[in-house]
C-alpha cells in the first residue's frame, strides 16, 4: 500500500530530485513533489513523499528532524485534504 508523508521546512533551493535522494536512503520512494507558488514557481517550503506503507514509520523516524541544507525537516504522515468552502 501507498502512504503519503508530509515534509515541512524544506529549504527553498531543494529540488524534487534532492528530496527523493534524501528519502531514498531510508526506503523506496514511489513519488515526490514540492509544492510551489503558482504565480512565481517558487517553493512554498513543503512537499510530499510517497512511500510503501511498510517503510513509512521507519522513514518518518529516520527523517524527522534531519538537517537538509541548514534546515531541520518536519516529517509526518500526511492528513487528508479538507474541503474548503468559499
Residue 85 inside a domain? The answer is no
How many domains in the chain? 1
For residue 44, what pLDDT is reported? Answer: 97
User: What pLDDT shows up at residue 84?
Assistant: 65
Domain-embedded: residue 86: no
pLDDT < 70 stretches in the chain: 84-86
* pLDDT tens by residue, 32-52: 999 999 999 999 999 999 999
User: Which 3 state secondary structure label does DSSP give 37?
Assistant: coil
State whether residue 72 is helix, strand or coil.
strand
pLDDT of residue 80: 83
Separation CA 9–CA 45 (nearest Å): 5
Q: Is residue 81 part of a domain?
A: no
CATH code, domain with 10: 3.30.70.330
pLDDT at 1: 87
Cα dihedral 58, 7, 13, 31 sign: positive
Task: Locate 20 and state its grid cell.
Answer: 527523493
Residue 78 CA from chain centroid, whole number: 9
Q: Domain range spanning residue 38?
A: 2-66
Identify whether 16 is part of a domain.
yes
Amino acid at each position: 500500500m501507498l502512504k503519503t508523508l508530509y515534509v515541512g521546512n524544506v529549504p527553498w533551493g531543494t529540488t524534487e530530485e534532492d528530496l527523493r535522494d534524501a528519502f531514498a536512503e531510508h526506503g523506496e520512494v514511489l513519488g515526490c513533489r514540492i509544492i510551489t507558488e503558482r504565480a512565481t514557481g517558487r517553493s512554498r517550503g513543503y512537499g510530499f513523499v510517497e512511500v510503501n506503507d511498510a517503510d513509512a514509520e521507519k522513514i518518518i523516524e529516520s527523517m524527522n528532524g534531519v538537517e537538509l541544507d541548514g534546515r531541520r525537516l518536519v516529517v509526518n504522515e500526511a492528513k487528508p485534504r479538507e474541503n474548503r468552502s468559499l
